[in-house]
Amino acid sequence: MTDIVIYHNPECGTSRNALAIIRNAGIEPHVVEYLKTPPSRALLESLIERAAMTPRALLREKGTPFADLGLDNPDLTDAELIDAMMAHPILINRPLVVSPLGVKLCRPSEEVLDLIPAAQRGAFAKEDGEQVVDAAGNRVTGS
């Protein structure tokens, strides 16, 4: 059994697609609806570090209080950005996926293919119809 965790927002198409790609490999991940159950500060800091990204790179702007909170200010420290994410979990971009192969913000959703240690079990198309996996279970590369 492969242990995969997805920090998921069911309202987000990218997050829904990443979850469906994981399931297309026959894996049922541990789904954390992070808006209902936000990660602790220590866990969020660990995920950011393990994903080799900065807190700013994990910030979501669209549909969040990003602008109202002045988070575009380049003088804000990493700790201040994490403070904002802790106070407003909607600022945490998604889907963030944890697997034995690493931690990654999976935008676009097919980035999750790099974290799945099992083959895809068949074709997969995203909600918008874009084909990401062919009938043989192989990743479709863009033209």
Express each pLDDT in 84-143 by its tens digit. Answer: 999 999 999 999 999 999 999 999 999 999 999 999 999 999 999 999 999 999 999 864
- The verdict on residue 138 lying in a domain is no
Average pLDDT, stretch 57-82? 97
104: tokens are 């990654």
**Percentage of the chain with pLDDT > 90?**
97
Query: Are the C-beta atoms of residues 87 and 68 closer than 8 Å to each other?
Result: no
In a domain, residue 142? The reply is no
pLDDT of residue 2: 66
Residue 141 forms part of a structural domain: no
Closest CA to 70 of 55, 57, 82, 84: 84
Residues 110 and 21: beta-carbon distance below 8 Å: yes
Residues spanned by the domain of 13: 5-133
Which CATH number do you get for residue 79? 3.40.30.10
pTM: 0.94
Asked if residue 36 belongs to a domain, the reply is: yes
How many domains does the chain divide into? Answer: 1
86 lies in some domain: yes
The verdict on residue 42 lying in a domain is yes
Give the mean pLDDT of the chain.
Answer: 96
* pLDDT for residue 142: 66
Active site residue ranges: 12
Q: Which of helix, strand or coil describes residue 19? A: helix
Cα 42 to Cα 50: distance, rounded to the nearest angstrom? 12
